Amino acid sequence: MAPPSPEIPNLQGTQHKRVTVHNSHGEELVGVLHETNSLELVIICHGFKSSKDRIPMVNLADAFEKEGISAFRFDFAGNGESEGSFQYGNYRREADDLRAIVEHFHEEERFIATIVGHSKGGNVVLLYASSYKDVDAVVNISGRFNLERGIEGRLGRDFKEKIKHDGFIDVRNRKGRFEYRVTEKSLMDRLTTDIRGACQNIPNRCRVLTVHGSMDEMVPVEDAMEFAKNVPNHKLQIIEGADHEFTSHQDELSSAVLAFVKVDLRGNYMAMPSQSCKPSGHIHSRL
């Protein structure tokens, strides 16, 4: 299991705004808007037991900001500053959280240029694109294709027998401190989430980029190959030497994601899902 990357504090400044949105369960989701006054907006989703304030979420938002593209990074319910209790699994519910964020910015007459997700967030943005079909570009960074893998590393080899016997497994850190509880229900939520089916159900008009590090020890690079086989309109980019969080390859990651997003923004990005979205009061990005 790869060690966690260091926390990156919120950057202070007039361009960074704290924004709260309520999800369908009434929980407050907290995010940071990197505001450039562009009409288009990129939404960035974090991974498992992570937050909006960790790499690569902050670095990606900063990279978009430097290009004049507004970006919003937020915490899923039960993570970071957002309300709610942390739940293992929760892929589809986090896609619903993302839906609340998208609808909020549609109401503010913003064009959602791309949704970006890292690790588990990569699965969430793909599930979102499959379910709601209202985005034209998705970036999956280090997502896991086979959700049956990677469980033993956290829960132990006998996790199925143990959870059947006890009804739950408490996960502890290396110092023995309790981190979170996995119930049989939450485990089944993960195991019954059909990533292959979701990928195949993404509309062909939706462009998908998968970026993966060749030295990712948490999610094998072979998973990225499976996304390439199953997503209709897909581009795959492997970054040589990069780990799961692209710790020493942040510039390469940002460059790959920016290049992909700019393709859509050079085109007719005014074709919004919501017909009420207008460019009034906004300026365009520096593309």
Q: Tens of pLDDT along 246-261? A: 999 999 999 999 999 9
Residue where the block lists tokens 């502890």: 172
Q: Where do the domains of the chain lie?
A: 16-145+195-265, 148-192
Residues present in the chain in total: 287
Whole-angstrom Cα distance, residue 128 to residue 106? 15
pLDDT tens for the 287 residues of the chain, in order: 334 433 333 334 348 999 999 999 999 999 999 999 999 999 999 999 999 999 999 999 999 999 999 999 999 999 999 999 999 999 999 999 999 999 999 999 999 999 999 999 999 999 999 999 999 999 999 999 999 999 998 899 899 999 999 999 999 988 999 999 999 999 999 999 999 999 999 999 999 999 999 999 999 999 999 999 999 999 999 999 999 999 999 999 999 999 999 987 765 443 444 333 333 444 455 45
Exposure string of 179-213, with b = 16+ CB inside 10 Å and e = fewer, is: ebebbeebbebbeebebeebbebbeeebbbbbbbb
- Residues 3-53: pLDDT tens digits? 443 333 333 434 899 999 999 999 999 999 999 999 999 999 999 999 999
- Radius of gyration of the CA atoms of the chain, in A: 18
Q: What is the pLDDT of residue 266?
A: 63
CB 71 within 8 Å of CB 64: yes
Q: What is the pLDDT of residue 267?
A: 53
Whole-angstrom Cα distance, residue 129 to residue 207? 10
Which structure tokens are listed for 54? 């960790």
Whole-angstrom Cα distance, residue 116 to residue 209? 9
The whole-model pTM stands at 0.88
Q: What is the pLDDT of residue 12?
A: 40
Q: Is the peptide bond before 9 cis (omega within 30 degrees of 0)?
A: no
In terms of DSSP H, where are the helices of the chain?
57-66, 91-107, 120-132, 152-155, 159-166, 184-191, 195-200, 222-230, 250-265
Q: Which CATH class is domain 16-145+195-265?
A: alpha beta
